[in-house]
Chains A and B, each alone.
Chain A
């Protein structure tokens, strides 16, 4: 329905900068996920798009139109709030109906729309209750239903599934994605949950301390992290980062030796994903620190002189603690980062 454009957007709270010089272009009908640690500015970004917070600097456009001076009520976005924000004095039915009334949707359509939205989030039996009489997860679903009951230009969802149990979360995830494809509403979605980000997103925006670290497709973010922050944030367990030095085409750190592009020299950080390591080999020498079987794979932690390395070993792998172990890396999947943390040595 509409693209969203953020151009050099800054948001300061007094001397504290919540969002720094943000440039973001959300394509029409795109599903964009904001991902980052707590306090990195995700909610603030959403609130600026919704018009609930004024950017200190920069431009915000929805569907090409400048939004900076447009009131939240006139922006035609629907938002799921992190704290649910259900109207306590209204029943769930009336809560879901509120946006329909405010946007002058013909009365005759209300009941149908409300029931369909409630059905979707499996809230049918609770429509007559007040928010106070619902569990956290039910409230969250009510908040979601209130947002999806009408078809706005933009959906903004601030951690809409954070309070649901794993099973419901998985099924809601699929439903949200399906609904978004069906309604073709541009969506910005905030989450802490990597799986959610990976499965839902057309593109992911990784943020840290108010600064965008990388924008890319889930594959891109996973396979080509732009810097050590993204590398260390994505994946579970995330990429191993080992500080060392590069010289004459060899990277070395305590107990570690791997080939690297000849162009690299000086202080370099090596990145290797746990699934690209295997037991046996000659790239790393260390001691077994911990072995955690989970059924389908076994997580192995290896201690080297200055760092613990996570490895996804085969399901059968077992070893006594403190025994010496040698590890091999898939040398086609090595990442190198310079002293500023940015990726270097990409062919």
Chain B
């Protein structure tokens, strides 16, 4: 018995070692990455790694002087936030209908919506390019907003729908007998009840949108519509060679808002991700 209890103590220690190691595995690259952004360029491309950085704001100066980072950041934020808003406005009623109304072909429509997600994006790249050229929306943040919204709409609808399926039907029945109509039920009962799911869906959509590259490259031809993800690519080539410290800094700037967002809503998100996963 004693040995079992002792091994229980060992287990705790082992558990902590595993957790701490895992945390380091997750966090160290991010911190390392961040230090790269604040090193002089000469310190990065060396045969032996230099662990303790010489702090330098070279990359930052380069960004601010040569590069309209504020514009790119603004483009990213506008396009991503706008797309998420569009997604929610369209997906919430769609999810409600798919989760609650009985109508012919409901399952088919549900599957069709999800299946748009399975297609390789490159297949539609060319048609989309011509489509946006014809309506005169090339090289515009609004076009990006629409594209991001379109890319994520199916996923957002699906996640919210799976949440709504989990809300007991009696709740809606009660609201109906109390005299509520469909819109009131959606607005006052369903949306508050599946708020965690809506938040989860919004964060996932935002992450996908901020990382989107292919369509952004296609649509944005000048810095007028460049987002962080595409602008980043500018540093990888050119006569100056690959400017790693600036890349690191830009990446971090692009990544920071999502990180902050995720930390703020962590409680909802973890529950949301598992629930969504189970219901699929």
**A interface residues with partner B (beta carbon < 8 Å):** 47, 50-52, 71-73, 75, 77-79, 81-83, 85-90, 98-99, 102-103, 146
**Chain A residues whose C-beta falls within 8 Å of the C-beta of B192 in the assembled complex:** 87-90
Shortest B278–chain A CB gap in Å is 20
In the assembly, what is the distance between CA of A217 and CA of B189, in Å?
A: 41
CA distance A189 to B181 in the complex (A): 26
Most A C-beta atoms less than 10 A away, residue of B178, B179, B184, B189:
B178
A87 touches B189 (CB 8 A): yes
Chain B residue contacts of A75, Cβ below 8 A: 177
Nearest Cβ on chain A to B135's Cβ, whole angstroms: 41
Q: Do B178 and A83 touch (CB < 8 A)?
A: no
Chain B residues within 8 Å of A, Cβ to Cβ: 168, 170-171, 173-181, 184, 188-189, 192-193, 195
Q: Which residues of B contact A71 (CB under 8 A)?
A: 176
The answer to whether A98 and B193 have CB atoms under 8 Å apart is no
Q: Please classify the interface of chain A as helix (H, G, I), strand (E, B), loop, or mixed, using the class held by over half of its residues.
A: loop
Contact with A89, one of B170, B176, B193 (Cβ below 8 angstroms): B193
Contact B176 A85 (CB under 8 A): no
Q: A77 — which chain B residues lie within 8 A by C-beta?
A: 177
**With a CB–CB cut-off of 8 A, which chain A residues contact B189?**
87, 89
| Residue from the list B170, B171, B177 in contact with A72, Cβ < 8 A | B177
Q: Are B171 and A85 interface neighbours, CB within 8 A?
A: yes
**Contacting A81 at CB < 8 Å: which of B170, B180, B181, B184?**
B170
Whether A103 and B179, one on each chain, are in contact in the complex, defined by CB atoms closer than 8 angstroms, is: yes
* A75–B168 CA distance with the chains assembled, in angstroms: 22
| Contact assessment for A99 and B193 in the assembled complex, using a CB-CB cutoff below 8 Å | no
List 9 A-B residue pairs with CB atoms under 8 Å apart, sorted by A's residue number: A50-B173, A52-B173, A77-B177, A78-B177, A85-B168, A87-B175, A87-B188, A98-B175, A98-B188
* Cβ of A342 to closest chain B Cβ, rounded Å: 37
A146-B173 CB under 8 A given contacts A88-B193, A89-B192, A89-B193: no
For the complex, what is the distance from the CA of A99 to the CA of B174, rounded to whole Å? 9
Given contacts A81-B170, A89-B193, contact A50 B175 (CB under 8 A): no
Q: In the bound complex, how far is the Cα of B173 from the Cα of A73, in angstroms?
A: 9
| Interchain nearest-CB distance for B164 vs A (Å) | 14
Give the docked Cα–Cα distance between A50 and B178 (Å): 10
Give the residues in chain B near A89, CB-CB below 8 Å. 189, 192-193, 195
Q: How far is the CA of A146 from the CA of B184 in the complex (A)?
A: 17
Q: Are A85 and B170 in contact (CB-based, < 8 A)?
A: yes
Q: Closest CB of chain A to B142's CB: distance in Å?
A: 35
Q: How far is the CA of A19 from the CA of B221 in the complex (A)?
A: 67
Distance of A75 Cα from B171 Cα, bound (Å): 18
**How distant is the Cα of A252 from the Cα of B180 in the complex, in angstroms?**
62
